[in-house]
Each structure stands twice: as C-alpha cells, then as structure tokens.
Amino acid sequence: MPRLFFPTAREWNALIALGLVSLGYALYLRYIVIEQAWVAHTCQDGATTWICVSRNAAIALFKNWVFGAVALGVAGLNLIRPSLVLFAIAMVAAAFGIVLYNIGAAGLAAALLILSFARPASATK
C-alpha cells in the first residue's frame, strides 16, 4: 500500500507557523486596516502609506473573490497531486479567504485540504 500524504514533524512546524502568521495578518488587515473609519478616511484623502496600499489591495482582492478562488483552485490541485508547497499555498489563501469575506470557497478549500491527507504521496518526495 502506498504511503499517504502526511507532513513530517518539521514540515508541520513550518506549516503551523505559516498558518498562524497568515491568519494573524488577515485578522490585522480586517479589523485594524479595513474596518477602521479613520484608516478609510486617511486613505481616501490620498495617503500613500503601506497601510493604504495593503488596504486597497486587500479590498480589490476580496471584492473579486481572489482569495477563495485561489484557495479552491490550489486545494483542488493538491487533492489531485498532494504536495507540501501546494498545501501551504492553499492554507494561506484559505486563511485569508475565511477572514476576508470569501468564506464559501475558502471553507470548501479547507475541506479539500483535509481530504488530501487520504491521498497517496507523490513519488518525487
């Protein structure tokens, strides 16, 4: 029976750290940068700080459902051919999608990521 896709302990440590950092930054973007009125007024007045740039980029991405679509697409690829890199990309995109209003596709992507643990690992590992 072929070995199933399951990260090693060292890979889990990197995935946990990456997941927590991306989740933390997504929460920071939503609750501090996007939803605060004073940041919106400052950015609408023409400020070009990194906060305004990241706010405008995040708003443009979640309005066009990019976070959910990327998470779902990469999680689907990961389900077909499991890989640690694809898993990490899908996990980060799903974290941003769940926090930044793309919950439908990002939630489905998280379910596909869980299902990928039942798939055989690729032979190139």
At residue 3, the pLDDT reads 81
**Over 60: is that where the pLDDT of 38 sits?**
yes
What are phi and psi for residue 100, nearest 5 degrees? -105, 50
Kindly tell me the sign of the dihedral angle through the C-alpha atoms of 40, 42, 44, 49.
negative
At residue 124, the pLDDT reads 59
**Over 70: is that where the pLDDT of 34 sits?**
yes
Decide if 1 is inside a domain. no
Decide if 124 is inside a domain. no
Decide if 58 is inside a domain. yes
Decide if 23 is inside a domain. yes
**What domain range is 41 assigned to?**
9-118
Decide if 30 is inside a domain. yes
What is the H or E stretch that residue 27 is in?
helix 9-28
- Of 101, 94, 108, 114, nearest to 62 by C-alpha is 101
Average pLDDT for 12-23:
97
Decide if 123 is inside a domain. no
Decide if 125 is inside a domain. no
Decide if 4 is inside a domain. no
**Over 90: is that where the pLDDT of 35 sits?**
yes
**Over 80: is that where the pLDDT of 1 sits?**
no
- Of 53, 65, 50, 49, nearest to 100 by C-alpha is 65
Structural domain total, the chain: 1
